[in-house]
Structure 1
Amino acid sequence: MLTGKQKRFLRSEAHHLDPIFQVGKGGVNEAMLVQIGEALEKRELVKISILQNNEDGKHEVAKHLAEGTKAELVQLIGHTVVLYKVSVNNKRIDLP
């Protein structure tokens, strides 16, 4: 579980990132979760965009992404989700 200070730090780190995944009409599926998990292992911090044609609520999508990848939900702002997961092999971010 992340503290408020750690979430603030991660939000500032994620500010300049571009979304690397999009959740569309099909919603969240198993293949997407595997790919996002691999990206989290490489980068530790990823942004995901939820498209307007998504049929699920954005809060449900964010929760499903976080649980499916076993990552921490850092932020849900607008239709953008920021996830963080500590990398086993590629540790880059040192939390305060």
Structure 2
Amino acid sequence: MTVKALYDYEFPSADRAEVFGDDQLVYVHWRGNPLFCSAVCFRVPKDMPFAEFVTSMVHTWAASDPDFDPASVTGWRLFDEQLSGGQDKSLADLGIGHKTLLSFEA
């Protein structure tokens, strides 16, 4: 449904990148898991290594599913593209920016 404002709406977004400084928001979705039907959002430093992000943030969150096995995490995707790169690279080096969607299967 289209909405027409009766005045100019000129308020900056509260979650724009410059509000977060050296941090950024990263969304993570566990594809195919009915317990987590939507993505979770993490606030993380841009220079955090991907491997640290996965073990300290994603595994901790995913562990709330009793069937989660950290060794079974595969198929990382950055939006719809296969994520390629080293685990030791930072999120920024892998092209993971503010409000990016990552997804995986397990």
Bin of the TM-score, shorter chain as denominator length? 0.3 to 0.5
> What TM-score, normalized to structure 2?
0.30
Identify, as 1 or 2, the structure richer in strand: 2
The structure with more radius of gyration: 2
Identify, as 1 or 2, the structure richer in helix: 1
